[in-house]
Structure 1
Amino acid sequence: MNEAAGIYAGKDRFEARKLVVEALGREGLLLKAEEHQHAVGHCYRCKSVVEPFLSEQWFVRTKPLADRGVQAVREGRIRFVPEQWTHTYYQWMENVRDWCISRQLWWGHRIPAWTCAACGHITVASEDPSACERCGASTLAQDEDVLDTWFSSALWPFSTLGWPDKTPDLATYYPTSLLVTGFDIIFFWVSRMIMMGLEFMDDVPFREVYIHALIRDERGQKMSKSKGNVVDPLDIIDEFGADALRFTLAALTGQGRDILLGRSRIETYRFFMNKLWNASRFALMNLEGAPEGSLDPEDPLRLPDRWILRRSREVAKETTAHLSGYFYAEAARGLYDFVWSELCDWYLEMAKPALRGEEGEGRRRATQKVLRQVFRTTLLLLHPFIPFVTEELWEAFGFGARPMDQERWPEDPVNGDEESGPEMGLLQEVVRTLRNLRSEARIAPSQTVPSAQVVIPGEGRRQVVEDHKDLACLLAKVDHLVVLPRGDKPARSLVTIAPDFAAYLEVGSLLDVEAELRRLEGERAKLAKDVELCEAKLRDEKFLSRAPEEVVCKERDRMRDGKLRMARIAENLESLR
Structure 2
Amino acid sequence: MEEMPKTYDPQEREPELIQKWMDAGCYQRSKGVGDCTVVIPPPNVTGILHMGHAMDDSIQDAIVRYNRMRGRSTRWILGTDHAGIATQTKVDKKLKSEGVSRLKIGREKFIDACWDWTHEYGGTIVSQIKRMGCSIDFSDEKFTMSPEFSRAVRKVFCDWYHDGLIYRGKRIVNWCPNCTTAISDDEAEYRDEKGHLWFMRYPLVEPVDGVEYITVATTRPETMLGDTGVAVSPSDPEKAKLVGANVMLPIVNREIPIFSDWHVDANYGTGFVKVTPAHDPNDYAMGQAHDLEQINVFDEHAVVVEGYGEFSGMSRDECREAIVKWFDEHGLLDHIEELDHSVMHCYRCDTALEPWLSEQWFVAVDKLKERATEVVKSGEVKFHPARWTDTYLTWMDNLKDWCISRQLWWGHRIPVFYCEDCGWSDALMEDTDVCPKCGGHHVHQDENVLDTWFSSQLWTFATQGWPDDTAELEAHHPTKVLVTARDIIALWVARMIMSSLYFTDEVPFHDVFIYATILAKDGSRMSKSKGNGVDPMELIKMYGADAMRYNLLTLITNNQDVKFDADIDKQTKKLLGSPRTEQARGFVTKIWNASRFVQMNLDGYAPGAPRVETPEDAWMLSRLARAVSEATEQLETYNLGDYARNIQSFFRGEVCDWYIELCKGRLLDGTPEEKLQVQRNLVYVLDVSMRLLHPVMPFVTESVWDALPASGLDAHDAEFLMVAKWPEPSELAAFVDEKAEGDFELAKRVISCVRSTRARYRLSPKAELDVAVRCGEAEAAVLAGQEGFIKSVGRVSELACGDVQKAEGAVSVADGTLEIFVGLGGLVDLAAEGARLKKELAKAEKDLASVERTLGNQGFVAKAAPEVIEKKRAQAAELTATIDQLKSQIADFE
Q: TM-score, with normalisation over the residues of structure 1?
A: 0.83
Alignment of 1:353-368 (within 5 A): 353-357=665-669, 359-368=670-679
Between the two structures, name the one with larger relative contact order (CA 8 Å, sep ≥ 6).
2
User: Aligned partner of 2:733: which letter?
Assistant: V
Per-residue deviation at 1:11? 4.6
2: distance between equivalents of 1:564 and 1:245?
Answer: 36
Q: Is contact 2:324-2:333 (8 Å) kept? A: no
User: Aligned partner of 2:315: which letter?
Assistant: R
1:472-501 alpha-carbon deviations (Å, 9 max, x no partner): 3454444x2334566665553334466665
SS in 1 for 2:827: coil
Q: Is contact 1:249-1:259 (8 Å) kept? A: no
Per-residue deviation at 1:249? 1.4
1:539-567 alpha-carbon deviations (Å, 9 max, x no partner): xxxxxxxxxxxxxxxx9999999789756
Per-residue deviation at 1:252? 1.2
Per-residue deviation at 1:418? 2.4
Matched, 1:293 2:608: yes
2: distance between equivalents of 1:250 and 1:177?
Answer: 20
> What is the aligned partner in structure 2 of residue 544 from structure 1?
none
Per-residue deviation at 1:181? 1.4
> What is the aligned partner in structure 1 of residue 693 from structure 2?
382
User: Aligned partner of 1:431: which letter?
Assistant: I
Q: Select the residue among 583, 590, 608 that pairs with 1:268.
A: 583
SS in 1 for 2:360: coil
1: distance between equivalents of 2:823 and 2:324?
Answer: 98
User: Aligned partner of 1:4: which letter?
Assistant: E
Matched, 1:430 2:742: no
Alignment of 1:141-540 (within 5 A): 141-262=444-565, 263-295=578-610, 301-357=613-669, 359-399=670-710, 400=716, 401-411=718-728, 412-415=731-734, 416-440=736-760, 442-444=761-763, 446=764, 448-455=766-773, 461-462=779-780, 464-466=782-784, 468-469=786-787, 471-473=789-791, 475-478=793-796, 480-483=797-800, 490-496=807-813, 503-519=820-836
1: distance between equivalents of 2:787 and 2:519?
Answer: 50
Higher share in helix: 1
Number of corresponding residues? 543
Higher share in strand: 2
Per-residue deviation at 1:134? 3.9
2: distance between equivalents of 1:258 and 1:19?
Answer: 41
1:257-313 alpha-carbon deviations (Å, 9 max, x no partner): 3232222222221111111111111111122322221135xx6x1111111111011
Instruction: Sort the Cα spacing of 1:519 and 1:110 in 2 relative to 1 into closer, same or farther, 3 A.
Output: same
Instruction: Sort the Cα spacing of 1:499 and 1:13 in 2 relative to 1 into closer, same or farther, 3 A.
Output: closer
SS in 1 for 2:769: strand
User: Aligned partner of 2:738: which letter?
Assistant: E
2: distance between equivalents of 1:219 and 1:333?
Answer: 23
> What is the aligned partner in structure 2 of residue 109 from structure 1?
412
Instruction: Sort the Cα spacing of 1:117 and 1:414 in 2 relative to 1 into closer, same or farther, 3 A.
Output: same
Per-residue deviation at 1:468? 4.6
Instruction: Sort the Cα spacing of 1:507 and 1:150 in 2 relative to 1 into closer, same or farther, 3 A.
Output: same
User: Aligned partner of 1:183: which letter?
Assistant: R
Instruction: Sort the Cα spacing of 1:21 and 1:457 in 2 relative to 1 into closer, same or farther, 3 A.
Output: closer
Instruction: Sort the Cα spacing of 1:67 and 1:144 in 2 relative to 1 into closer, same or farther, 3 A.
Output: same
2: distance between equivalents of 1:462 and 1:14?
Answer: 84
Per-residue deviation at 1:130? 3.9
1: distance between equivalents of 2:518 and 2:370?
Answer: 32
Instruction: Sort the Cα spacing of 1:115 and 1:16 in 2 relative to 1 into closer, same or farther, 3 A.
Output: farther
User: Aligned partner of 1:95: which letter?
Assistant: N
Instruction: Sort the Cα spacing of 1:466 and 1:172 in 2 relative to 1 into closer, same or farther, 3 A.
Output: same
Instruction: Sort the Cα spacing of 1:371 and 1:132 in 2 relative to 1 into closer, same or farther, 3 A.
Output: same
Q: TM-score, with normalisation over the residues of structure 2?
A: 0.55
Per-residue deviation at 1:375? 0.5
Q: Is contact 1:8-1:16 (8 Å) kept? A: no
- When structure 1 is superposed on structure 2, of 516-525 and 112-121 the one drifting more is 516-525
1: distance between equivalents of 2:528 and 2:334?
Answer: 39
User: Aligned partner of 1:31: which letter?
Assistant: L
Q: RMSD of aligned C-alpha atoms?
A: 3.7
Q: Is contact 2:369-2:396 (8 Å) kept? A: yes
Unaligned runs of 5+ in 2: 1-302, 566-577, 711-715, 848-875
Alignment of 1:75-114 (within 5 A): 75-114=378-417
> What is the aligned partner in structure 1 of residue 306 from structure 2?
4
Q: Is contact 1:449-1:506 (8 Å) kept? A: no
2: distance between equivalents of 1:46 and 1:516?
Answer: 67
> What is the aligned partner in structure 1 of residue 332 from structure 2?
31
Unaligned runs of 5+ in 1: 531-554
Q: Is contact 1:110-1:145 (8 Å) kept? A: yes
Instruction: Sort the Cα spacing of 1:503 and 1:111 in 2 relative to 1 into closer, same or farther, 3 A.
Output: same
SS in 1 for 2:624: helix
Per-residue deviation at 1:136? 3.1
2: distance between equivalents of 1:438 and 1:49?
Answer: 66
1:224-245 alpha-carbon deviations (Å, 9 max, x no partner): 3444432211111111110111
2: distance between equivalents of 1:258 and 1:518?
Answer: 48
Q: Is contact 2:304-2:315 (8 Å) kept? A: no
Q: Is contact 2:844-2:879 (8 Å) kept? A: no
- When structure 1 is superposed on structure 2, of 465-474 and 166-175 the one drifting more is 465-474
> What is the aligned partner in structure 2 of residue 538 from structure 1?
none
Report % sequence identity: 37
Instruction: Sort the Cα spacing of 1:518 and 1:15 in 2 relative to 1 into closer, same or farther, 3 A.
Output: closer
Q: Is contact 2:306-2:313 (8 Å) kept? A: no
User: Aligned partner of 1:91: which letter?
Assistant: T
Q: Select the residue among 311, 315, 326 that pairs with 1:13.
A: 315
1:510-540 alpha-carbon deviations (Å, 9 max, x no partner): 222332354567789999999xxxxxxxxxx
Q: Is contact 1:312-1:374 (8 Å) kept? A: yes
1: distance between equivalents of 2:594 and 2:579?
Answer: 23
